[in-house]
Chain A
Amino acid sequence: MTEETFSDEILMRFADGELDPDMVARIEQAMETDDRLVARIAVFIETRAQAQAALKPLHDEPVPEKLVAAVEQMIEAKRAGEKAAAASILPFGSGRVAGPASRSRWMLPIAASLAAAVVGGLAGYWAAATNERTQGGLWVASVIRPALAQALETVESGKEIKLAGISDRFRAIATFRNDAQDLCREFEVDSQDRSTVVSVACRSGDEWRVSFAVVAPGDAGGYAPASSTEALDAYLSAIEAGAPMSAEEEIQALAEVRRKDRK
């Protein structure tokens, strides 16, 4: 039987498992009778093993904390940016409504100047039956639905309830007055689709109007991510929101609203 000759490359591919089965079978057969072939293959198996072993300590040494921290920070920044992009703000004015496309954060001042921003699709359950649908597909919430109104007038900041009739959770965050001295409440609603809406409603005459809302992507409940509160902060400063009321002030202010409601 004539001895088949194999090139170094073929033997290396054999050693690395990068060879087709037919060739593998031929080499294996040849190895049975050719010790020198075995030795040549062994060089490739050995060099791989040795290179791996030689550089293992480099892999095992701890990554400097500074480097880990820097990378983690970049990842955090990236995630925050993604959330900000996902948080959409839709302003609406007097009947003329922009399309439902999400807005980047530079839209905030515009939204704020309109003093009325609401999120499409979500306003539906805030709105009472009297609302009219606009061409842009948004609900103009002239009056918010009773369950929410009730929550706004009763729930103390820091407390959370389930809205009557729907499973959404309502969380009161703060109470303050805007530049017109209207009573305003900042609150969050976790809706069924697991998104969190960060919102501000202000007392206008004898009703509540939602003046700001931003939907944050669903993080399965809990408080809204920082990016949506950044949007809120920009809005609050635009309406010259006063400092949050103390618990006592808030109780008094809400009681006053309820007293007026009864009249």
Chain B
Amino acid sequence: MPEKADRVQDQLVAFLPNLRRFAIALCRSRDIADDLVQRACERALANERRFEPGTRFDAWMFKILRNLWIDDIRKRKVAGPQDDIDERHDIAGISGEREVEARLALNSVAQAIGELAADQRDVLLLVCVEELSYRQAAEVLAVPIGTVMSRLARARKNLAEATGISSAPTRYPVTKGAAK
């Protein structure tokens, strides 16, 4: 994984698989994700001078992409409720249509990640999947590091619960309803 970039343009193509994975996990559609990735690259190139060499290129790219996605969601909400895709649901797809798009339903863990609340899902993706540090994730999400930790802990408790990864101690009962 590229960690230090002197020039954004030299790292972009090699980073596409990670960026695209993150995008698919966010928007649950490959077509939308590809468009999102392309726009993120465009924006990154236009703002190349703002990237500080020596800082994490991946964190910088994830932030750009996620911000674009959040803008998209806002616009869609303004455009009308009929387009309002429930953010809380499914990488795997609740509806058959999305299921076909995402083709992740075979994997129950991926499905469970998709069913996490968006703020929990995002921090889980950044830290556990893309291996950012808490501080980098906080930077990407523009939240305090304490928020990153509390969301991440909840995300993992919920994931463990949903997939039966490990029996949570009875002292910490976590139900789906309570988590949301």
Residues of chain A having any CB pair with chain B under 8 Å = 8-9, 12-13, 16, 18, 36, 39-40, 42-44, 46-48, 50-55, 57-60, 63-64, 66-68, 70-72, 74-75, 78-79
Contact = CB atoms under 8 A, between A and B. Distances in A.
Most buried by A among B104, B113, B129: B129
A54 B110 contact: yes
A186 to B, nearest CB: 31
Contacts of B179: none
B166 A67 contact: no
Given A16-B127, A16-B134, A54-B109, A75 B156 contact: no
29 contacts: A12-B149, A13-B134, A16-B134, A18-B134, A39-B169, A40-B169, A43-B156, A43-B157, A43-B166, A43-B168, A44-B156, A47-B156, A48-B127, A50-B109, A50-B163, A51-B129, A52-B128, A53-B109, A55-B21, A55-B25, A57-B107, A60-B17, A66-B34, A70-B41, A71-B12, A71-B13, A71-B16, A74-B42, A79-B9
Nearest to B163: A50
Nearest to B167: A39
B79 interface: no
Contacts of A63: 16-17, 20
Given A55-B21, A58-B24, A46 B153 contact: no
Interface residues of B, number: 44
A21 B166 CA distance: 27
Interface string B1-39: 000000001001100111011001100000000100110
Interface in B102-116: 104, 107, 109-110, 113
B172 A8 contact: yes
B152 interface: yes
Given A16-B134, A18-B134, 4 more contacts: A71-B13, A71-B38, A74-B45, A75-B13
Contacts of A64: 34
A155 B107 CA distance: 69
A202 B113 CA distance: 71
Contacts of A68: 13, 16
Contacts of A53: 109
Contacts of A39: 166-167, 169
Nearest to B131: A52
Most buried by A among B34, B149, B163: B149
Contact of A55 (B12, B38, B113, B134): B113
A43 B9 CA distance: 39
Contacts of A40: 169
Contacts of A48: 127-128, 156
B113 A51 contact: yes
Contacts of A44: 156
B133 A18 contact: yes
**A-B residue pairs, 9 tightest by C-beta:** A54-B109, A47-B156, A58-B21, A54-B110, A48-B128, A51-B128, A43-B166, A75-B9, A59-B21
